[in-house]
């Protein structure tokens, strides 16, 4: 513990370098009829130009600054997504070369991640998670001649299965996100182990002093100076402090006019003045572990899993995640499916997403719903297009998800129940917890039959479930039909 007469903790600083495949908010199915490259219709058509702006405002000046600091003895780590490398290689190779110089600097460490910065680690089947992890490591080896061994795992909970997948892929340590929950309400400034895997826990409050509060003039600590911040770090108890920050904070999310780059430039000297040493994540992971932490990925007493996306997951996010996992067997273009897996899409379906080194995302309920509707509209369209060439087009169409305007909305006799099914599978899942009076209401009105026949297009199933009130029997029949449809596609 740090205290009077003790050495200050070390600092482990990492940067997350990614640029998402933003959705095209103006997408409508009618607008892409006859087009061969539908990806340009699904996602931001101005991505090349927008990325250039991010490079000019953030990537280039921040990387040039960090190269100077690295030469002076500063130490940090970089997590660079596969999609960023792809786009820079195709459009801005000089920026990729600049990043390469920073990421391969003797005082830097290159981190592992999922290729598409994706939510695949939240799926029941971790095949995609493992595939993306290996894809990313291979890309890092190809472009930077480095095979990273520390994984940045900060957007959703690490679980026993993801920890096993990481270890199986040669990962020797992971950076996880600090915050709430019984497993994470502890001092983050130590090395822990999870299922034998060394883990570093990010310090969310200190990360958010930079990522969220730095430009806020209403903050009682504004303006934050590097010396003041280093002083806070010096008295934080523990062995070291892990800060993992979105790269775009520097110059993009927080404009250069706020002094954020000057703050970064002054930080190493301020740390040195406090006697604080900077270290790489892999070095911190080799410190003797403080203790073994519990099942971070398990559901807690509140019913919510811990972790960034887990703590904030609402019914729209849950529907999108379930639809995404099912879509892996329906969308024939893996590039489109994987672009939809990006964590940014799920974060934008929350009215207020967590920060912890990322910019705080707070919008209206209408904005989150509109984003969710656009997302589901695009995913549904991708599945419908793919059904044409499926082994059984009819089965594929029956298994697809539908956008909110075609979803099945549960109600009771007097009011909406507040949840909806966007696919046969989600309908089956919701039948497990829907109240008896809600199920009775819909059976009496023949709503299930009508939706399955007219929207999903499965008249055979609609006839089979007619008049069935028993939830268990109703769910069993729908699930058997789903399993049978998947067999037709295999």
- The residue assigned the tokens 């892996």 is 328
Rounded average pLDDT over 315-327: 96
Give the tens place of pLDDT for each residue, 398-430. 999 999 999 999 998 878 888 999 999 999 999
Can you give the pLDDT at residue 186? 65
The answer, yes or no, to whether residue 4 has pLDDT greater than 60, is no
Domain total of the chain: 2
259, burial (CB in 10 Å: exposed 0-12, middle 13-18, buried 19+)? middle
What is the residue range of 142's domain? 10-308
Can you give the pLDDT at residue 331? 96
pLDDT bucket at 256, cuts 50 / 70 / 90:
very high
Compute the Cα dihedral for 276, 17, 332, 395 and give only its sign: positive
Residues 48, 191, single domain; the answer is yes
pLDDT bucket at 299, cuts 50 / 70 / 90:
very low
Q: How far apart are CA 47 and CA 268, in angstroms?
A: 34
Residues 301, 412, single domain; the answer is no
The answer, yes or no, to whether residue 38 has pLDDT greater than 60, is yes
The answer, yes or no, to whether residue 270 has pLDDT greater than 90, is yes
The answer, yes or no, to whether residue 210 has pLDDT greater than 60, is yes
The answer, yes or no, to whether residue 56 has pLDDT greater than 90, is yes
From 27-36, 87-96, 217-226, 325-334, the region with the lowest mean pLDDT? 27-36
444 CA to centre of own chain: 41
Task: Read off φ and ψ for residue 83, nearest 5 degrees.
Answer: -70, -35
Q: How far apart are CA 453 and CA 458, in angstroms?
A: 5
Rounded average pLDDT over 186-190: 84
Give the tens place of pLDDT for each residue, 193-206. 999 999 999 999 99
Q: Which of 249, 284, 308 is the last residue of a domain?
A: 308
Can you give the pLDDT at residue 154? 81
From 82-86, 192-196, 244-248, 421-425, the region with the lowest mean pLDDT? 192-196
Can you give the pLDDT at residue 37? 78
Residues 236, 123, single domain; the answer is yes
Residues 273, 403, single domain; the answer is no
What CATH number did the domain enclosing 209 receive?
Answer: 3.20.110.10
484 in a domain, yes or no?
yes
325 in a domain, yes or no?
no
The answer, yes or no, to whether residue 391 has pLDDT greater than 50, is yes
Residues 235, 91, single domain; the answer is yes
Q: Which of 308, 341, 370 is the last residue of a domain?
A: 308
Residues 31, 152, single domain; the answer is yes
Residues 56, 194, single domain; the answer is yes
From 36-40, 260-264, 305-309, 392-396, the region with the lowest mean pLDDT? 305-309
CB 233 within 8 A of CB 9: yes
267 in a domain, yes or no?
yes
339 in a domain, yes or no?
no
Rounded average pLDDT over 45-56: 96
Residues 74, 212, single domain; the answer is yes
The answer, yes or no, to whether residue 142 has pLDDT greater than 80, is yes
Can you give the pLDDT at residue 487? 97
Can you give the pLDDT at residue 414? 76
278 in a domain, yes or no?
yes
Rounded average pLDDT over 251-260: 96
26 in a domain, yes or no?
yes
Rounded average pLDDT over 293-306: 43
Residues 196, 77, single domain; the answer is yes
pTM to 2 decimal places: 0.91
The answer, yes or no, to whether residue 113 has pLDDT greater than 80, is yes
pLDDT bucket at 17, cuts 50 / 70 / 90:
very high
126 CA to centre of own chain: 15
Residues 241, 103, single domain; the answer is yes
Can you give the pLDDT at residue 295? 57
187 in a domain, yes or no?
yes
Residues 297, 402, single domain; the answer is no
pLDDT, the chain, mean = 91
Residues 304, 403, single domain; the answer is no
CB 198 within 8 A of CB 283: no
Q: Which of 293, 308, 323 is the last residue of a domain?
A: 308
Give the tens place of pLDDT for each residue, 433-480. 999 999 999 999 999 999 999 999 999 999 999 999 999 999 999 999
More confident residue, 310 or 50: 50
pLDDT bucket at 483, cuts 50 / 70 / 90:
very high
Q: How far apart are CA 436 and CA 440, in angstroms?
A: 6
363 in a domain, yes or no?
no
């Amino acid at each position: 513990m740090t205290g009077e007469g003790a050495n200050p903790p070390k600092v482990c600083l990492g940067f997350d370098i990614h640029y998402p495949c933003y959705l095209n908010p103006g997408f409508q199915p009618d607008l892409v009829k006859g087009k061969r490259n539908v990806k340009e219709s699904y996602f931001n058509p101005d991505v090349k130009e927008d990325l250039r702006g991010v490079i000019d405002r953030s990537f280039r000046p921040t990387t040039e600054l960090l190269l100077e600091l690295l030469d002076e003895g500063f130490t940090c780590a970089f997590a660079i997504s596969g999609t960023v490398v792809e786009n820079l290689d195709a459009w801005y190779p000089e920026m990729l070369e600049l990043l390469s110089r920073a990421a391969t600097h003797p005082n830097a460490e290159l981190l592992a991640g999922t290729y598409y910065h994706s939510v695949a680690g939240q799926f029941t089947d971790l095949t995609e998670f493992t595939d993306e992890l290996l894809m990313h490591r291979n890309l890092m080896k190809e472009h930077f001649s480095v095979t990273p061994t520390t994984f940045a795992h900060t957007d959703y909970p690490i679980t026993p299965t993801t920890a096993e997948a990481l270890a199986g892929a040669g990962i020797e340590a992971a950076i996880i996100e600090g915050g709430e929950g019984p497993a994470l309400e502890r001092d983050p400034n130590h090395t822990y182990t999870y299922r034998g895997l060394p883990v570093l826990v990010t310090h969310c409050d200190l990360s958010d002093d930079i990522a969220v509060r730095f430009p806020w003039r209403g903050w009682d600590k504004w303006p934050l100076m590097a010396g003041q911040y280093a002083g806070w770090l010096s008295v934080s108890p523990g062995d070291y402090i892990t800060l993992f920050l979105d790269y775009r904070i520097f110059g993009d999310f927080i404009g250069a006019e706020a002094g954020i780059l000057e703050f970064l430039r002054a930080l190493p000297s301020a740390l040195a003045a406090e006697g604080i040493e900077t270290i790489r994540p892999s070095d911190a992971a080799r410190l003797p572990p403080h203790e073994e932490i519990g099942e971070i990925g398990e559901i807690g007493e509140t019913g919510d899993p811990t972790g960034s996306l887990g703590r904030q997951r609402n019914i729209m996010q849950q529907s999108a995640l379930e639809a995404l996992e099912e879509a892996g067997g329906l969308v024939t273009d893996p590039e489109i499916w994987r672009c939809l897996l990006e964590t940014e899409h799920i974060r934008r379906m929350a009215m207020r997403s967590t920060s912890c080194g990322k910019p705080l995302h707070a919008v209206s309920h209408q904005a989150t719903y509109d984003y969710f509707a656009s997302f589901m509209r695009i995913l549904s369209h991708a599945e419908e297009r793919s059904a044409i060439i499926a082994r059984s087009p009819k089965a594929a169409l029956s298994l697809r998800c539908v956008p909110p305007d075609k979803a099945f909305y549960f109600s009771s006799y007097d009011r909406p129940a507040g949840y909806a099914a966007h696919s046969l599978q989600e309908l089956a899942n919701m039948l497990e917890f829907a109240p008896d009076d809600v199920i009775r209401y819909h059976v009496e009105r023949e709503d299930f039959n009508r939706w399955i026949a007219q929207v999903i297009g499965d008249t055979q199933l609609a006839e089979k479930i007619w008049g069935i009130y028993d939830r268990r029997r109703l769910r069993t029949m729908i699930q058997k039909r789903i399993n049978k449809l998947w067999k037709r596609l295999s």
